[in-house]
Amino acid sequence: MEASTALSRIGLAGLAVMGQNLALNIAEKGFPISVYNRSTSKVDETLVRAKEEGNLPLTGHYSPRDFVLSLQRPRSVIILVKAGAPVDQTIANLSQFMESGDSIIDGGNEWYENTERRMLEVADRGILYLGMGVSGGEEGARNGPSLMPGGSYPAYLNIKDIVEKVAAQVEDGPCVTYIGEGGSGNFVKMVHNGIEYGDMQLISEAYDVLKVAGGLSNSELANIFAEWNRGELESFLIEITADIFRVKDEHGEGELVDKILDKTGMKGTGKWTVQQAAELSVAAPTIAASLDCRYLSGLKEEREAAAKVLEDAGMTDDVWKVRGGIDKKRLIDDVRQALYASKICSYAQGMNLLRAKSIEKGWNLNFGELARIWKGGCIIRAVFLDRIKKAYRRNPELASLVVDPEFAKEMVQRQEAWRRVVGLAIQAGISTPGMCASLAYFDTYRRARLPANLVQAQRDLFGAHTYERIDRPGSYHTEWTKLARQKKGGIGAFN
């Protein structure tokens, strides 16, 4: 252990990628910090980095007891270990040395109900608890993440000065705010990740259409994404996508992106988002499509076999049919608009899921604030989030982003291009499930009358589920089959 007489302002346990970088960030902002990790080598690594990165005020500890006792009271301990059982084990190890009034802050991607359970478990001993979403990966943790703390408000007040300095800074403040009670911080982080899935899927579809139908090279794609990053699509994900297309393959010809196996990994937050959307009866088709696409991408061998079977059955690659007639410049502009409009629908779904949960749990989430703290530090950070913030500030009860007057205008302006891109992709056999899901979501939501009347009639026919009428109040049941099959000349007969 490094000798230190003064007590630290805060502690952090769990020194893998996120914990190590967040600890260094906290120390760099001038808050003396104690660190601890189950395996001691990571403590040593962190101490070396703290020294190299400017003799930062960070002390390492090798036992839970020394670690906890090295903190100023009331103690605040951030935990950044793998979500699930490791968090329970870490809490058990550390909390035995903590006292009433101390706080535990779990910064992992934890299932919100686990946070709510732990909150109650430690409350018996007067320990306060926060579940704090941390976004921005390694770079964000080191230089300024977006932080989503939810749970005990007094615990938040104990660390408010620290998190406000450590978070990413944008023109309207630090990218952190108290989210709400219970597991709201984890839930908001989970939906953030679901939206991130949607964004990444939509970008990959834009890339697919431009590459396959438009015939664009990686260097052209790099330039287009860089140009998009100077306009309404300006965001971290668009920026890094431009960079990705520029990286050469050090093991062979061409660019690295073309050598990457087309199988997407995942850790579960996208799946939770879709499960929650279903639980709450909130439509989230773009996010669901992005999750389905990850599942299908995982079936690489099966997809290769399917391609062969269908080719043998006469399936042809129809891209050449559309390529001939393509105006490249117009296609690029259309894809930009389709991406933007699809993205608005995806964010509308995420925000509506948050609203439904907020109502169910009484969290009183502030959507304008959520959009604001996502403007910097996190993976979905984007200029467009400022517009979302303003939309919710104009109307905190906004039913959907697509009916905010400004976004509505943009959707209408972009829909022609959007339909052209989706139509072209369908014709060429290029799957664009995210863009299609967004467009279908938009068209379903904006249509005052849907064919749901027929579904209701079917339900009433086979299950006597009853239906309502558009022209008079009440609930009705009809003997559909009897009426439909009455002999010629009878009431309701048609044959």
Q: Please list the active-site residues.
A: 189, 196
156 Cβ neighbours under 8 A, 6+ residues apart = 130, 149, 178
Q: Please report whether residue 77 would count as binding ligand NBP according to CB under 6 A.
A: no
Out of 81, 222, 322, 332, the residue judged to bind ligand NBP by CB under 6 A: 81
Which of 85/247 has CB closer to ligand NBP?
Answer: 85
Q: Closest residue (Cβ) to ligand NBP?
A: 108
Q: Please report whether residue 63 would count as binding ligand NBP according to CB under 6 A.
A: no
Tokens linked to 304: 């290769």
**DSSP 8-state secondary structure symbol assigned to residue 108:** S
Q: Please report whether residue 44 would count as binding ligand NBP according to CB under 6 A.
A: no
Which of 109/115 has CB closer to ligand NBP?
Answer: 109
Contact call for residues 22 and 80 (beta carbons, < 8 A): yes
Q: Please report whether residue 80 would count as binding ligand NBP according to CB under 6 A.
A: yes
Neighbouring CB atoms inside 10 A of 142's CB total 20
Count the site residues for ligand NBP by CB under 6 A. 23
Contact call for residues 148 and 379 (beta carbons, < 8 A): no
User: Whole-angstrom Cα distance, residue 186 to residue 60?
Assistant: 28
67 Cβ neighbours under 8 A, 6+ residues apart = 11, 13, 34, 35, 36, 61, 94
Out of 10, 12, 15, 322, the residue judged to bind ligand NBP by CB under 6 A: 15
Q: For the segment 117-146, give every residue that binds ligand NBP (CB under 6 A).
A: 134-135, 137-138
Rg over alpha carbons for the chain, rounded to the nearest Å, is 27
Which amino acid appears at position 286 of this protein?
T
Can the peptide bond before residue 74 be classed as cis, meaning omega within 30 degrees of 0?
yes
Q: Please report whether residue 201 would count as binding ligand NBP according to CB under 6 A.
A: no
**Max Cα-Cα span within the chain:** 100
Q: Which residues pair with 128 in a beta bridge?
A: 103
Which amino acid appears at position 28 of this protein?
E
Q: Which residues pair with 36 in a beta bridge?
A: 13, 61
Q: Please report whether residue 39 would count as binding ligand NBP according to CB under 6 A.
A: yes
Stretch that binds ligand NBP, among 74-82, 206-214, 315-323, 396-404 (CB under 6 A): 74-82
Q: Please report whether residue 83 would count as binding ligand NBP according to CB under 6 A.
A: yes
In 3D space, the residue among 150, 193, 146 whose CA is nearest the CA of residue 170 turns out to be 146
Q: Please report whether residue 9 would count as binding ligand NBP according to CB under 6 A.
A: no
Q: Please report whether residue 387 would count as binding ligand NBP according to CB under 6 A.
A: no
Q: How far is the CB of 391 from ligand NBP (least distance, A)?
A: 27
Q: Please report whether residue 14 would count as binding ligand NBP according to CB under 6 A.
A: yes
Out of 109, 146, 204, 218, the residue judged to bind ligand NBP by CB under 6 A: 109
**DSSP 8-state secondary structure symbol assigned to residue 7:** P
452 Cβ neighbours under 8 A, 6+ residues apart = none
Q: How far is the CB of 185 from ligand NBP (least distance, A)?
A: 12
Burial 428-440 (b: 16+ CB within 10 A, else e): bebebbbbbbbbb
Q: How far is the CB of 178 from ligand NBP (least distance, A)?
A: 19
Which of 138/292 has CB closer to ligand NBP?
Answer: 138
Q: Please report whether residue 42 would count as binding ligand NBP according to CB under 6 A.
A: yes
Q: How far is the CB of 42 from ligand NBP (least distance, A)?
A: 5
Q: For the segment 87-106, give every residue that binds ligand NBP (CB under 6 A).
A: 89-90
Which amino acid appears at position 447 of this protein?
R
Q: How far is the CB of 169 from ligand NBP (least distance, A)?
A: 19
Stretch that binds ligand NBP, among 17-25, 152-160, 348-356, 394-402 (CB under 6 A): 17-25
* Residue whose pair of structure tokens reads 């906290």 in the numeric block: 26
Out of 17, 278, 299, 310, the residue judged to bind ligand NBP by CB under 6 A: 17
Provide DSSP, 392-403: HHH-TT-S-GGG
Which of 38/387 has CB closer to ligand NBP?
Answer: 38
Binding residues (CB under 6 A) for ligand NBP: these are 14-19, 37-39, 42, 80-83, 86, 89-90, 108-109, 134-135, 137-138
